[in-house]
Amino acid sequence: MALKASALRRFLASDLGYSFKSSPMAVSAFVLLVLLIASAFLAPWISPQNPHDLSQLFIDKAEIPPIWAQGGEWPYLLGTDPQGRDVLSAILYGTRVSLIIGLAAVAVSMAVGVTVGLMAGFFGGWIDNLLMRVADTVLSIPTLLVAILVSALFRGILPPAMRDPFAAIILVLAIALTGWVQYARTVRASTMVERRTEYVLAARIIGVSSARLMRKHILPNTLTPVMVAATLNLGLAILSEATLSFLGVGMPITQPSLGTLIRIGNQYLFSGSWWLVVFPALHLGLIVLAVNLLGDWLRDAMNPKLR
């Protein structure tokens, strides 16, 4: 803990920390995001109900409107669905699923993209040509289409019993398959610049191996734009996951993400149970908004031209 506290103090004393403290937008987006993430991961302890535990669902509590509307009932703050499931609890559990998939997709894209970018930029020649041609081809198909096709195909290949347990992994792969390209391009561009600098040349002369040169010398100097891209892409990844789940090629009803909840709620759109779709949709918007605001701030703060 002491180590964490000193890291925090060091961050607040840095240039970036100063820019953070003086931007009320960044601070409020950060606080909002921390609250949303914390509430999602603490869901088993703080939510009024476990939405996956059938013994906690009561059929006579079905389709109760939110607490402030007529017929609302404690503790169902945001109402219940036709199975008597508390909407707030379902949202908190669903957010956890959405966040885990979003974070995993960003992590996988970043790992693949940074590796590809380093290799392409460092070695150049045919490796560079090959890798960048692959990147071009991936981007020549609309990303949403790639993601839908990949998830649909995996589901087509897997036997029905295997689909649900692997749904999250399939989604991560489907999103990461196009996600890595942006990182690869950024890292490649900065690697090509760093490769020619004197410190790299000096390290090479004293006999540092290529792998170590890439990992210890070049990589740290290419990471700033990567961090900005990662933050902004987290928002995009969460949206992609939600879109795929909404279209029915994402998370199953047994493990709903926010997108699945919106898909389910959409079926009750004309029956008057508006809270089933409105609250998951707004919650999703709130998470992505917080991430985007933070990403926008980070991009501006890291851009030396704007200082």
Of 213 and 228, nearer to another protein (C-beta) is 228
Residues 6+ apart with CB under 8 A from 93: 43, 47, 50, 51, 52, 256
Q: Which is nearer to another protein, 38 or 145 (CB)?
A: 145
Between helix 143-157 and helix 160-195 the angle, nearest 10°, is 140
85 and 149 Cβ atoms separated by less than 8 Å: no
* Cα–Cα distance measured from residue 23 to residue 234, given in angstroms and rounded to the nearest whole number: 21
Binding to another protein by residue 145, rule CB under 8 A?
yes
Distances (CA, A) of 119 to 109, 123, 132: 15, 6, 11
Residue 148 binding another protein, by CB under 8 A? yes
Q: Which is nearer to another protein, 57 or 150 (CB)?
A: 150
Least distance to another protein, CB of residue 9, Å: 30
**What is the C-alpha separation between 123 and 121, in angstroms, rounded?**
6
By the rule CB under 8 A, 266 interacts with another protein: yes
27 binds another protein (CB under 8 A): no
Q: Which of 3, 59, 140, 306 binds another protein (CB under 8 A)?
A: 140
> What is the SS3 assignment for 105?
helix
HSE (side-chain half, CA atoms, 13 Å) at 47: 27
Binding mask of the shown chain, residues 38 to 67, with x at each position contacting another protein by CB under 8 A: ------------------------------
Contact status: 275 vs another protein (CB under 8 A): no
Q: How many angstroms separate the CA atoms of 294 and 283, rounded?
A: 17
β-partners of residue 86 are 80
d(CA 10, CA 17): 8
What is the Cα gyration radius of the chain?
23
Report the residue from 39, 296, 299, 300 that binds another protein according to the rule CB under 8 A: 296
Establish if 276 lies at the interface with another protein (CB under 8 A): no
Q: Rule CB under 8 A: is residue 235 a binding residue for another protein?
A: yes
Kindly state whether residue 278 participates in binding another protein, applying the rule CB under 8 A: yes
Q: Which stretch binds another protein (CB under 8 A): 16-24, 35-43, 61-69, 268-276?
A: 268-276
Q: Does 120 bind another protein (CB under 8 A)?
A: no
Q: Least distance to another protein from the beta carbon of 201, Å? A: 25
Does the footprint of another protein cover residue 23 (CB under 8 A)?
no
Decide: is 164 part of the binding site for another protein (CB under 8 A). no
Cα–Cα distance between 229 and 299 in angstroms, integer?
A: 8
277 interacts with another protein by CB under 8 A: yes
How many angstroms separate the CA atoms of 52 and 167, rounded? 17
Residues within the interface to another protein (CB under 8 A): 132, 135-137, 139-145, 148-149, 152-153, 156-157, 181, 235, 239, 242-243, 246-249, 262, 265-266, 269-270, 274, 277-278, 281, 284-285, 288-289, 292-293, 296
